[in-house]
Amino acid sequence: MLEERENRSPTWQRFAEGHRRLTPPLSPSAGDVETARRAIAEAGPRVVLFGMTPALAGLGEDLTAFDHSQDVIDTVWPGDGAARRAVLADWLSLGEEVGRFDAALGDGALNSVGAALPEMMGVVARLLRPGGVAALRVFAAPEEPETPDDIRRDVLGGWTGNLHALRWRLGMALAADRPGRVLPVREIVAAFDALFPDRETLAAATGWSRSEIDAVDLTRDADYALAFPPVSTFADLARRHFAEVRVVEAGGYPLAARCPTLLLRR
């Protein structure tokens, strides 16, 4: 059981508040959901979902979603029913669930555990029965890192992304020289402030509204770190635990090429 202080973390409270406004690349597109649906279609009824991603909550006949934030469960989860339920738990301590599931789903879950990414890959595998499958969308840095200045020039020069895609591009660039490619999220906001001190100039160059741009402030005090490795690292980690590893990309939204789904079979 989680302590009250852990499951009421202000960071995830703020994530819950902002969740309604999430769009791809931060939430999955219809194409990403279809990729996941197809991947697990033949696996069996028992599905584990890491996080509360509403677009994935309707998949599977018997889905259990785990999240460590009661606020996210209360705000984001579309509600328990005959085919699904939300459970408050830390993914890294799901020790007794070994082999209980036919399929696993997650949207950015592997990035969300920061330095525990290698351990998390093992958790996903352990929860699945032999032959079970996982469909996990990831945020994967380019193999050749960008610099924050490259990104600034591109964005002010007419790049047609969105605010979330910009945040992730910055996160990937800043994480490139960190151990394990792990970056405290608040550093993304600090870099954003330094690169784009005048939000009106950014709004004029991109066509983004001030309310879209100001959403960057929701993660100003975030107290967690994200892992942003390249897709080759995700695939190498997956091969330690899974017999089959494939990477597919749905496309059709800003930064989609860096948001592929890992399709894994134990």
Ligand X SMILES: C[S@@+](CC[C@H](N)C(=O)[O-])C[C@H]1O[C@@H](n2cnc3c(N)ncnc32)[C@H](O)[C@@H]1O
Whichever of 53 and 206 has its CB closer to ligand X, that residue is 53
Residue of 30, 87, 92, 190 that binds ligand X (CB under 6 A): 92
Residue of 39, 59, 109, 264 that binds ligand X (CB under 6 A): 109
Q: Is 50 exposed, middle or buried (0-12, 13-18, 19+ CB in 10 A)?
A: buried
Residues that bind ligand X (rule: CB under 6 A) add up to a total of 22
Assess 53 for contact with ligand X (CB under 6 A): yes
Report the nearest approach of ligand X to the CB of residue 145 (Å).
23
Assess 69 for contact with ligand X (CB under 6 A): yes
Assess 68 for contact with ligand X (CB under 6 A): yes
* DSSP of 193-238: HHH---HHHHHHHH---HHHHHGGGGGTT---EEE--BHHHHHHHH
Q: Are 92 and 117 in contact (CB under 8 A)?
A: no
Integer Cα distance of 38 and 18 in angstroms: 29
Binding part of the chain for ligand X, among 102-110, 143-151, 227-235, 254-262 by CB under 6 A, reads 102-110
Binding part of the chain for ligand X, among 34-42, 65-73, 170-178, 244-252 by CB under 6 A, reads 65-73
| Three-state secondary structure string covering 159-180 | CCCCHHHHHHHHHHHHHCCCHH
Binding site for ligand X (CB under 6 A): 12, 15, 22, 26-27, 50-53, 66-69, 72, 90-92, 107-109, 112-113
